[in-house]
């Protein structure tokens, strides 16, 4: 999950601290945003960096 960009026009330059990522991901999953979490943590790293993060999701 990208932590150095928040799309909030009222807070230009705002960032998520790295320690907030697990909480935010948990909240997204609780709210039913599984597809967004998969995009951020599996599909984007695979497409951009060529890495497979699928295994790390299964350990959680």
pLDDT at 27: 92
With cut-offs at 50, 70 and 90, classify the pLDDT of residue 58: low
29 Cβ contact list (under 8 Å, min separation 6) = 37
Estimate to the nearest angstrom the gap between the alpha carbon of 26 and the chain centroid.
Answer: 10
Give me the sign of the Cα torsion angle 23, 31, 41, 9: negative
Distance of CA 51 to CAs 1, 5, 16, 44, Å? Answer: 14, 22, 23, 9
Q: What is the pLDDT of residues 13-53, one digit of tens each?
A: 887 778 888 888 999 999 999 999 999 889 999 999 999 98
Q: What are phi and psi of 55, to 5 degrees?
A: -60, -35
Q: How many domains does the chain have?
A: 1
Domain hosting residue 11, numbered range: 1-60
> What pLDDT does residue 6 have?
74
């Amino acid at each position: 999950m990208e932590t150095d960009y928040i799309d909030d026009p009222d807070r230009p330059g705002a960032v998520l601290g790295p320690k907030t990522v697990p909480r935010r991901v948990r909240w997204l999953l609780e709210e039913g945003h599984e597809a967004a979490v998969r995009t951020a943590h599996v599909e984007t790293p695979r497409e951009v960096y060529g890495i497979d993060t699928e295994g790390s999701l299964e350990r959680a």
